[in-house]
Amino acid sequence: MRYARSLFAKLFSLYELFRYTVYSGAPIRVTGSPPTAGRPADLQLSVPHALLRFRDEGSGPAVVLVHGWTLDLDQWEPQAQALSDAFRVIRLDRRGFGLSSGQPSLANDVGDVRALMKHLRLRSVALVGMSQGARVAAHLAAESPECVSCVVFDGPPSGILSDASVAEEEIPLAAYRALIRDGRIEEFRSEWRNHPLAQLHTADPGAHELLRRMLSRYPAVDLRGTESGPALPPARIESIRAPALVVSGALDLESRIRSAEALARALPSCERVLVPGAGHLPNLDYPAHYNTRLRRFLQHCAT
C-alpha cells in the first residue's frame, strides 16, 4: 500500500509537469523543485525578449497580481496564502524584475500579462496592480474590458491619469542612476530602503525579511539605461467600466493619496479604501485588513 501511494504521488507530479509544459504557444518551463508544503512552484513563460517567472495557485475565479517598482511576485505572498482557498491566484515577476529576464518596459508589461492570460486560457480575470503595476492594470481594464471582471488599484502613481508626473519629486531617480552607473548598487539599496515608498510600518519581522529579500534581488536594470520599448501613455480611465477598488495606506505619501483620490473620482464605478497604520505597502504592513477588504471585493465582483 505504501508503494502504491508513492507511485501515485510520482505519477501525479508528472501529470502536473505535463500540464504546464505541453500547450500551444510559447514554451513554459518549471524551474527549481516541484511544489512542497508552503512553497509553490516557480514557472516560466517565454515571451518576446524575456523569460517571465510566475506562480499559479488555488482554484476559482482568476486573480492576476502585478507588483510595483523594485519588487517582485513575492510581494503578494500574504495575499496568495489568504486567497488561494477560493481564488486562482496568479502572480508574475515583471520583465527585468525579480527573477524575470528582459529589459523593463511598462508597455511590454501590458502585453506580457495578456500573453500569460492567453497561455493559461483565462477568459476573464480580476486584476490587482500595485504602484507601477496599477498603470499596467489600468491599460488592460481600459483596452480589454471583455477580459477584466474587476480591477484593484493599490497606491497608484500620478502617471496613471496624466503625462504630468511627480515621479522625480517622489523618487530621486537621477541620483539612483548615478549610483548604479558607478557600480554602487548596495549603496542604492541602502538609500532606497530608507525611502518612504519602500518603508514598512509594521513590526512583523517576517514582512521586513520578505521586503529585504525582494530588494536584494532587484537587479536595477531599468536604472542602468533608458526604458526599452514604447512609452506607456495614460490609460483611458473613463472607459473602464469594470468595478474598481482603489486602495491606499493611510500613511502613504500625500502625493500618492491625492493620486488615488483623483483616480477614484475619475472611475465610473469605484470603492475607496484607506488601510490604517500602513504606508505605501499596505498589503505587507497590515495584511489582515488588506486581505479582508480585497476578499470582500473579489467575492462580489470577480468572475
Mean pLDDT computed over 199-212: 98
Asked if the structure places residue 54 within a domain, the reply is yes
Least confident of 15-29, 30-44, 107-121: 15-29
Q: Phi-psi bin for 222: left (phi > 0), alpha (psi -120 to 50), beta?
A: alpha
Asked if the structure places residue 239 within a domain, the reply is yes
pLDDT digits (tens, 9 = 90+) for 122-167: 999 999 999 999 999 999 999 999 999 999 999 999 889 986 555 6
Give yes or no for residue 215 having a pLDDT over 70: yes
Give yes or no for residue 237 having a pLDDT over 80: yes
pTM comes to: 0.87
Q: Give residue 180's Cα distance to chain centre.
A: 24
Percent of the chain beyond pLDDT 70?
A: 84
**Residue 99, pLDDT score:** 97
What are the contacts of 6-11 at 24+ separation with CB within 8 A?
none
Mean pLDDT computed over 90-100: 98
Asked if the structure places residue 82 within a domain, the reply is yes
Read off the pLDDT band of 225 (50, 70, 90).
Answer: confident
Sign, CA torsion 155/158/159/162: positive
Residue of higher predicted confidence among 246 and 13: 246
Burial environment of residue 252 by CB neighbours within 10 A (0 to 12, 13 to 18, 19 or more): buried
Mean pLDDT computed over 72-89: 98
Give yes or no for residue 191 having a pLDDT over 90: yes
Mean pLDDT computed over 206-213: 98
Q: Find the distance separating the first CA and the last CA of the chain, reported in whole Å.
A: 41
User: How many residues comprise the chain?
Assistant: 303
**Residue 68, pLDDT score:** 98
Sign, CA torsion 148/111/40/28: positive
Do 149 and 297 form a contact (C-beta atoms < 8 A)?
A: no
**Residue 131, pLDDT score:** 97
Read off the pLDDT band of 108 (50, 70, 90).
Answer: very high
Asked if the structure places residue 14 within a domain, the reply is no
State the chain's mean pLDDT as an integer: 88
C-alpha to C-alpha distances, 103 to 50, 183, 205, nearest whole angstrom = 8, 19, 32
Asked if the structure places residue 16 within a domain, the reply is no
**C-alpha cell recorded at residue 76:** 503578494
Asked if the structure places residue 279 within a domain, the reply is yes
Beta bridge partners of 56: 90
Question: The domain containing residue 188 runs over which residues?
Answer: 46-301
Asked if the structure places residue 240 within a domain, the reply is yes
Domains contained in the chain, number: 1
Give yes or no for residue 227 having a pLDDT over 60: no
Asked if the structure places residue 39 within a domain, the reply is no
Beta bridge partners of 53: 44
Q: What angle do CA 247, 133, 253 make, to 5 degrees?
A: 50
Least confident of 19-28, 92-101, 182-191, 287-296: 19-28
CATH number of residue 281's parent domain: 3.40.50.1820
Give yes or no for residue 285 having a pLDDT over 50: yes
